[in-house]
Amino acid sequence: MKTVDKMQILQSQSAEFIEQGETGKFLKLIPDTFIIKGAEREIGFHQGYAIRHLNRKDIVLIDVVEKSTKEAVKKLITDGYNIKGILISNSLVYKTAYADLKTLSEDAGGAPVFMHPRITVKNGDTVKDITGRNEVVKSFGLTITDLPGNGGGSVLIYSDINDGMLFTGADAEGSPYDSDLNTFTRQKLDSQNDEFGLAESWGAYVLPFTYLFPLCGKPGFNLDEGQQTDILSKLSKVQE
Protein backbone atom coordinates (compact mmCIF):
# COMPACT_ATOMS: atom_id res chain seq x y z
CA MET A 1 0.00 0.00 0.00
CA LYS A 2 1.32 3.42 -0.93
CA THR A 3 2.06 5.59 2.09
CA VAL A 4 1.76 9.35 2.31
CA ASP A 5 4.99 11.26 2.79
CA LYS A 6 4.00 13.65 5.59
CA MET A 7 7.19 15.66 5.20
CA GLN A 8 6.36 16.26 1.54
CA ILE A 9 2.91 17.49 2.54
CA LEU A 10 4.37 19.89 5.09
CA GLN A 11 6.92 21.19 2.60
CA SER A 12 4.24 21.86 0.00
CA GLN A 13 2.42 24.06 2.49
CA SER A 14 5.22 26.58 2.74
CA ALA A 15 6.32 29.81 1.12
CA GLU A 16 9.69 28.22 0.31
CA PHE A 17 8.04 25.44 -1.70
CA ILE A 18 6.13 27.98 -3.82
CA GLU A 19 9.02 30.43 -4.20
CA GLN A 20 11.38 27.69 -5.38
CA GLY A 21 8.81 26.21 -7.76
CA GLU A 22 9.16 26.71 -11.50
CA THR A 23 7.21 29.55 -13.10
CA GLY A 24 4.37 28.34 -15.30
CA LYS A 25 4.09 24.89 -13.69
CA PHE A 26 1.24 23.69 -11.48
CA LEU A 27 2.39 22.81 -7.96
CA LYS A 28 0.22 20.72 -5.65
CA LEU A 29 -0.34 22.49 -2.32
CA ILE A 30 -3.07 20.46 -0.63
CA PRO A 31 -5.44 17.71 -1.84
CA ASP A 32 -6.94 18.61 -5.23
CA THR A 33 -5.62 22.18 -5.04
CA PHE A 34 -2.75 23.56 -7.12
CA ILE A 35 -0.92 26.89 -7.49
CA ILE A 36 0.83 28.25 -10.58
CA LYS A 37 3.27 31.15 -10.60
CA GLY A 38 3.00 33.79 -13.28
CA ALA A 39 5.79 35.95 -14.65
CA GLU A 40 7.95 37.99 -12.30
CA ARG A 41 6.72 41.53 -11.58
CA GLU A 42 7.91 44.46 -9.50
CA ILE A 43 5.73 43.24 -6.63
CA GLY A 44 6.72 39.61 -7.05
CA PHE A 45 4.45 37.46 -9.20
CA HIS A 46 0.77 36.81 -9.69
CA GLN A 47 -0.51 33.44 -8.56
CA GLY A 48 -3.23 31.40 -10.21
CA TYR A 49 -4.89 28.32 -8.81
CA ALA A 50 -6.65 25.14 -9.89
CA ILE A 51 -9.20 23.01 -8.05
CA ARG A 52 -9.70 19.41 -9.11
CA HIS A 53 -13.15 17.87 -8.78
CA LEU A 54 -13.67 14.77 -6.67
CA ASN A 55 -14.26 12.84 -9.91
CA ARG A 56 -10.54 13.42 -10.67
CA LYS A 57 -11.40 14.42 -14.26
CA ASP A 58 -12.84 17.92 -14.07
CA ILE A 59 -10.86 20.98 -13.02
CA VAL A 60 -11.54 24.70 -12.63
CA LEU A 61 -8.93 27.45 -12.99
CA ILE A 62 -8.82 30.62 -10.90
CA ASP A 63 -6.92 33.64 -12.28
CA VAL A 64 -4.83 31.50 -14.64
CA VAL A 65 -4.60 33.83 -17.66
CA GLU A 66 -0.95 34.84 -18.11
CA LYS A 67 1.18 33.86 -21.09
CA SER A 68 3.61 32.06 -18.80
CA THR A 69 0.82 29.67 -17.78
CA LYS A 70 -0.46 28.91 -21.30
CA GLU A 71 1.50 25.69 -21.87
CA ALA A 72 0.61 24.33 -18.43
CA VAL A 73 -3.09 24.79 -19.21
CA LYS A 74 -2.68 22.99 -22.52
CA LYS A 75 -0.92 20.14 -20.70
CA LEU A 76 -3.97 19.70 -18.48
CA ILE A 77 -5.96 18.96 -21.63
CA THR A 78 -3.28 16.56 -22.89
CA ASP A 79 -3.32 14.81 -19.51
CA GLY A 80 -7.03 14.15 -19.91
CA TYR A 81 -8.57 16.82 -17.70
CA ASN A 82 -11.78 18.63 -18.60
CA ILE A 83 -11.38 22.31 -17.74
CA LYS A 84 -14.89 23.31 -16.74
CA GLY A 85 -14.27 27.02 -16.32
CA ILE A 86 -11.76 29.85 -16.03
CA LEU A 87 -12.70 32.17 -13.17
CA ILE A 88 -11.33 35.72 -13.19
CA SER A 89 -11.57 37.44 -9.81
CA ASN A 90 -11.13 41.09 -10.83
CA SER A 91 -10.21 43.57 -13.56
CA LEU A 92 -6.51 43.52 -12.63
CA VAL A 93 -6.32 39.84 -13.58
CA TYR A 94 -8.32 40.43 -16.76
CA LYS A 95 -5.79 43.05 -17.88
CA THR A 96 -2.97 40.50 -17.62
CA ALA A 97 -4.63 37.99 -19.98
CA TYR A 98 -2.26 37.03 -22.81
CA ALA A 99 -5.00 37.06 -25.45
CA ASP A 100 -8.68 37.80 -26.01
CA LEU A 101 -11.02 35.63 -23.98
CA LYS A 102 -12.12 33.56 -26.98
CA THR A 103 -8.50 32.47 -27.48
CA LEU A 104 -8.10 31.91 -23.75
CA SER A 105 -11.13 29.62 -23.85
CA GLU A 106 -9.95 27.74 -26.95
CA ASP A 107 -6.53 27.11 -25.39
CA ALA A 108 -8.33 25.61 -22.39
CA GLY A 109 -10.33 23.15 -24.50
CA GLY A 110 -13.32 25.46 -24.92
CA ALA A 111 -13.77 26.19 -21.22
CA PRO A 112 -16.13 29.11 -20.50
CA VAL A 113 -14.67 32.25 -18.93
CA PHE A 114 -16.42 33.75 -15.91
CA MET A 115 -15.95 37.19 -14.39
CA HIS A 116 -17.95 40.07 -12.92
CA PRO A 117 -20.31 41.84 -15.35
CA ARG A 118 -19.16 45.23 -14.04
CA ILE A 119 -15.69 44.71 -15.52
CA THR A 120 -15.36 46.62 -18.79
CA VAL A 121 -14.42 44.14 -21.48
CA LYS A 122 -12.28 44.70 -24.54
CA ASN A 123 -13.85 44.76 -27.98
CA GLY A 124 -15.15 41.35 -28.92
CA ASP A 125 -14.77 39.74 -25.51
CA THR A 126 -17.81 38.00 -24.04
CA VAL A 127 -17.95 36.30 -20.67
CA LYS A 128 -20.32 34.50 -18.34
CA ASP A 129 -21.44 36.19 -15.11
CA ILE A 130 -19.42 34.78 -12.22
CA THR A 131 -22.00 36.10 -9.72
CA GLY A 132 -24.92 34.32 -11.39
CA ARG A 133 -26.16 30.78 -10.98
CA ASN A 134 -24.12 28.38 -13.04
CA GLU A 135 -23.26 24.69 -13.01
CA VAL A 136 -19.51 25.23 -12.52
CA VAL A 137 -19.98 27.08 -9.23
CA LYS A 138 -22.50 24.48 -8.06
CA SER A 139 -20.55 21.35 -9.02
CA PHE A 140 -17.31 22.56 -7.43
CA GLY A 141 -19.00 23.68 -4.20
CA LEU A 142 -18.01 27.32 -4.67
CA THR A 143 -19.48 30.45 -3.10
CA ILE A 144 -18.95 33.78 -4.89
CA THR A 145 -18.99 36.99 -2.83
CA ASP A 146 -19.44 40.28 -4.68
CA LEU A 147 -17.08 43.04 -3.51
CA PRO A 148 -16.95 46.78 -4.27
CA GLY A 149 -13.40 46.73 -5.66
CA ASN A 150 -11.95 49.68 -7.57
CA GLY A 151 -15.10 50.77 -9.37
CA GLY A 152 -16.67 47.35 -8.85
CA GLY A 153 -16.19 44.02 -10.53
CA SER A 154 -14.29 42.14 -7.83
CA VAL A 155 -15.20 38.86 -6.13
CA LEU A 156 -14.02 36.46 -3.46
CA ILE A 157 -14.11 32.79 -4.45
CA TYR A 158 -14.72 30.31 -1.64
CA SER A 159 -14.44 26.53 -1.87
CA ASP A 160 -15.87 24.26 0.81
CA ILE A 161 -13.26 21.52 0.29
CA ASN A 162 -10.18 21.11 2.51
CA ASP A 163 -12.09 22.63 5.42
CA GLY A 164 -12.61 25.87 3.53
CA MET A 165 -10.38 27.68 1.05
CA LEU A 166 -10.71 31.40 0.28
CA PHE A 167 -9.29 32.81 -2.98
CA THR A 168 -9.09 36.58 -2.53
CA GLY A 169 -7.80 37.83 -5.87
CA ALA A 170 -6.37 41.32 -5.38
CA ASP A 171 -8.58 42.10 -2.38
CA ALA A 172 -6.06 40.66 0.06
CA GLU A 173 -2.31 40.51 -0.39
CA GLY A 174 0.04 38.16 1.44
CA SER A 175 3.42 39.11 2.84
CA PRO A 176 6.33 39.18 0.35
CA TYR A 177 8.09 35.84 -0.05
CA ASP A 178 11.37 37.34 1.15
CA SER A 179 9.74 38.55 4.37
CA ASP A 180 9.63 36.75 7.71
CA LEU A 181 6.05 37.96 8.18
CA ASN A 182 2.93 36.02 7.22
CA THR A 183 0.17 38.59 7.36
CA PHE A 184 -2.48 39.89 4.96
CA THR A 185 -3.15 43.45 3.89
CA ARG A 186 -5.10 45.16 1.13
CA GLN A 187 -4.62 48.17 -1.08
CA LYS A 188 -6.63 51.32 -0.39
CA LEU A 189 -9.31 51.85 -3.04
CA ASP A 190 -9.54 55.04 -5.09
CA SER A 191 -13.18 55.74 -4.22
CA GLN A 192 -14.04 56.49 -0.60
CA ASN A 193 -17.39 54.76 -1.05
CA ASP A 194 -15.65 51.66 -2.42
CA GLU A 195 -13.15 51.79 0.46
CA PHE A 196 -15.93 51.84 3.05
CA GLY A 197 -17.84 49.17 1.13
CA LEU A 198 -14.87 46.82 0.91
CA ALA A 199 -14.02 47.25 4.58
CA GLU A 200 -17.63 46.51 5.47
CA SER A 201 -17.68 43.42 3.23
CA TRP A 202 -14.57 42.00 4.88
CA GLY A 203 -16.02 42.76 8.32
CA ALA A 204 -19.19 40.86 7.47
CA TYR A 205 -17.48 37.79 5.99
CA VAL A 206 -18.60 34.66 7.85
CA LEU A 207 -17.53 31.58 5.87
CA PRO A 208 -14.82 29.69 7.79
CA PHE A 209 -11.56 29.19 5.91
CA THR A 210 -8.53 27.10 6.78
CA TYR A 211 -6.56 28.29 3.74
CA LEU A 212 -6.30 31.76 2.26
CA PHE A 213 -4.94 32.06 -1.28
CA PRO A 214 -4.21 35.60 -2.56
CA LEU A 215 -3.26 36.83 -6.02
CA CYS A 216 0.09 38.05 -4.69
CA GLY A 217 2.20 37.11 -1.68
CA LYS A 218 2.36 34.19 0.70
CA PRO A 219 -0.78 32.08 1.16
CA GLY A 220 -2.12 31.25 4.60
CA PHE A 221 -2.07 27.57 5.60
CA ASN A 222 -3.87 25.71 8.42
CA LEU A 223 -5.43 28.85 9.85
CA ASP A 224 -7.29 28.42 13.12
CA GLU A 225 -10.36 30.38 14.19
CA GLY A 226 -8.33 33.01 16.00
CA GLN A 227 -6.09 33.62 12.99
CA GLN A 228 -9.14 33.93 10.72
CA THR A 229 -10.61 36.51 13.08
CA ASP A 230 -7.36 38.52 13.12
CA ILE A 231 -7.11 38.45 9.31
CA LEU A 232 -10.71 39.60 8.81
CA SER A 233 -10.30 42.32 11.46
CA LYS A 234 -7.25 43.75 9.70
CA LEU A 235 -8.83 43.60 6.24
CA SER A 236 -12.01 45.27 7.49
CA LYS A 237 -10.27 48.44 8.65
CA VAL A 238 -10.93 51.56 6.58
CA GLN A 239 -7.62 52.92 5.28
CA GLU A 240 -7.09 56.64 5.64
Task: Identify the CATH number of the domain in which residue 122 sits.
Answer: 3.60.15.10
* Residues 123, 59, 62, 105, Cα dihedral to 10°: -10
pLDDT, one tens digit for every residue, the chain (240 residues): 344 454 455 568 888 899 999 999 999 999 999 999 998 876 679 999 999 999 999 999 999 999 999 999 999 999 999 999 999 999 999 999 999 999 999 999 999 999 999 998 888 888 899 999 899 999 999 999 999 876 678 999 999 999 999 999 999 999 999 899 999 999 888 888 889 999 999 999 999 999 999 999 999 999 999 999 999 999 999 987
Residues 121, 119: Cα–Cα separation, whole Å: 6
User: Which residues partner with 67 through β-bridges?
Assistant: none
In a domain, 221, yes or no: yes
* DSSP letters for 196-224: HHHHHHHHT-----SEEEESSS--B-S--
Adjacency order of strands within the sheet including 211-214: 142-147, 154-159, 165-169, 211-214
With a CB cutoff of 8 Å and minimum separation 6, the contacts of 109 are 77, 82, 83
Using alpha carbons, select from 69, 89, 62 the residue that is nearest to residue 25. 69
In a domain, 240, yes or no: no
* DSSP letters for 146-201: EE-TTTS-EEEEEE-STT-EEEEETTSEEPPTTSS---EE-PPPSSHHHHHHHHHH
In a domain, 156, yes or no: yes
- Looking at the 3D structure of the chain, how many domains does it have? 1
How far is Cα of residue 86 from the mean position of the Cα atoms in its chain?
Answer: 11
How much is the pTM? 0.93
Range of the domain at 224: 6-235
